[in-house]
Structure 1
Amino acid sequence: VQLRQGDVAIAITDSGSTEDVIEPLRTAFERGATTIAITGNPVGPVARYADHVLTTTTTRESELRPAAMSSRTGQLLVIDCLFVGIAQRTYERAAPALAASYEALAHRHAPNPRQPPRD
């Protein structure tokens, strides 16, 4: 892990006890990075190494596994909200990075029939 003070590490674990998620968060925490845990278990082991714990809802699982899908959807919503909030607060710095990211994947974008072709 190359993270240090001034960086942010985000761990996502529904159970709060996934070792493969906790270990890199712990390392980032110990190196001074700001750490965030997105979890369905705010008192799980992951919380020990999180400066901020964001709790998502959990439900009991059944044969069709709807709880797994709903927990991932909730976690992705939290990530999207964090992304939008940070992009809004740092727009002057974020805009060029967002544009570069968009351009790097432009070859994968479907053409917009309402837009004229680019030369």
Structure 2
Amino acid sequence: MVVGSMISQIELVLNELPESEKKVAEYILANAKEVMHMTIHDLATKAEASSAAVVRFCRSLGIDGFPALKIRLSAEVENTPHVGYFDVESNETVHSIIDKMLSNTILTFQNTASQLDAQSIEQAVSLLQQAEVIYVYGIGASFIIAEDAAQKWLRLGKNVYAISDRHLLAAAMATKSENAVFWGISYSGETREVIQLIKRAKEQGIKTISLTRPGNNKLSQLADVSLFTSRAPEAQLRSAATSSRFAQLFVLDIVFSAYASAQHDFTVEQLAKTRKMIEILYD
């Protein structure tokens, strides 16, 4: 994994952590430089928690142990200025809004990159390469991502279904399930309709991919391959929803680029064909 904003990730999950892990998180946020030189027992003592709580906290962040956490903290504290998520406030200037949205977008990409696992990306690409049919589904803003996925793989000659009516999508899966993939998209990972469809897909023997925020959620637990974005902050306006949408598109573009790179010449040829066909429509 690449290095993202560790401090920001801790801030975003802080209120969702169990009390013992929250103590660890709060101490790290207040004493990041000191923590880089501590043992796990030192941190547990200072945070008035246990060594086991420190281990669980690292797992909650998707990090393989306390030494890895210290490496991430060191890279950030010593080399990277802290940049936060910002919500839009009343009567802000356009320049201020531009700066905030830029900061949010950059941090969203950094944090999402830190959550991505190359092996999971490769597994998703492999499933999509083998699939004769791809079903993509999401609700609300996540359906926009599903439509973008359909547009991408359709241009490469894949049979792709991104249907907003889950009943129709379920019917399609029932009739064409062999060598198929279902890709469920839900930021929370708890969207009832998406979970219903991934269960139906698995009953049909269809391979499954999920795209959710990190952490334990039903959708990622059910999927054969789980992909994660960064956590969007709580916000009064739509900046959080914007951040999660950018993160989902970012992951989608990475998967598509990896897919295209694996069969580069074929991809270039297919895109040229579709571009030529579209240009004819404007003649």
Q: TM above 0.5, one fold?
A: yes
| Matched ranges for 1:7-86 at <5 A | 7-86=180-259
Runs of at least 5 residues in structure 2 that lack an aligned partner in the other structure: 1-171
Percent of pairs with identical residues:
30
Decide which moves more: 40-49 or 29-38: 40-49
Distance 1:106 1:16, change over 3 A: same
Distance 1:42 1:98, change over 3 A: farther
Runs of at least 5 residues in structure 1 that lack an aligned partner in the other structure: 110-117
Deviation of 1:48 after TM superposition, in Å, equals: 3.4
Aligned partner of residue 25 in structure 1, secondary structure: helix
Report if aligned partners of 2:211, 2:220 keep a CA contact under 8 Å in 1.
Answer: no
Deviation of 1:103 after TM superposition, in Å, equals: 3.4
* Alignment deviations for residues 59-85 of structure 1 (CA, whole Å, 9 cap, x no partner): 332222211111110111111111111
TM-score when normalising by structure 2: 0.34
Distance 1:7 1:101, change over 3 A: farther
Q: Which amino acid aligns with 2:209?
A: I
Q: How many residues align?
A: 110
Report if aligned partners of 2:183, 2:208 keep a CA contact under 8 Å in 1.
Answer: yes
Q: Equivalents in 2 of 1:25, 1:97: separation in Å?
A: 30
Decide which moves more: 78-87 or 55-64: 55-64
Distance 1:98 1:54, change over 3 A: same
Counterpart in the other structure of 1:113 = none
Q: Which amino acid aligns with 1:101?
A: T
Report if aligned partners of 1:56, 1:71 keep a CA contact under 8 Å in 2.
Answer: yes
Q: Which amino acid aligns with 1:52?
A: V
TM-score when normalising by structure 1: 0.74
Q: State which of 260, 276, 283 in structure 2 corresponds to 1:87.
A: 260
Q: Equivalents in 2 of 1:6, 1:13: separation in Å?
A: 23
Higher strand share: 1
RMSD after superposition: 2.5
Deviation of 1:37 after TM superposition, in Å, equals: 0.6
Higher helix share: 2
Deviation of 1:5 after TM superposition, in Å, equals: 4.3
Distance 1:27 1:95, change over 3 A: farther
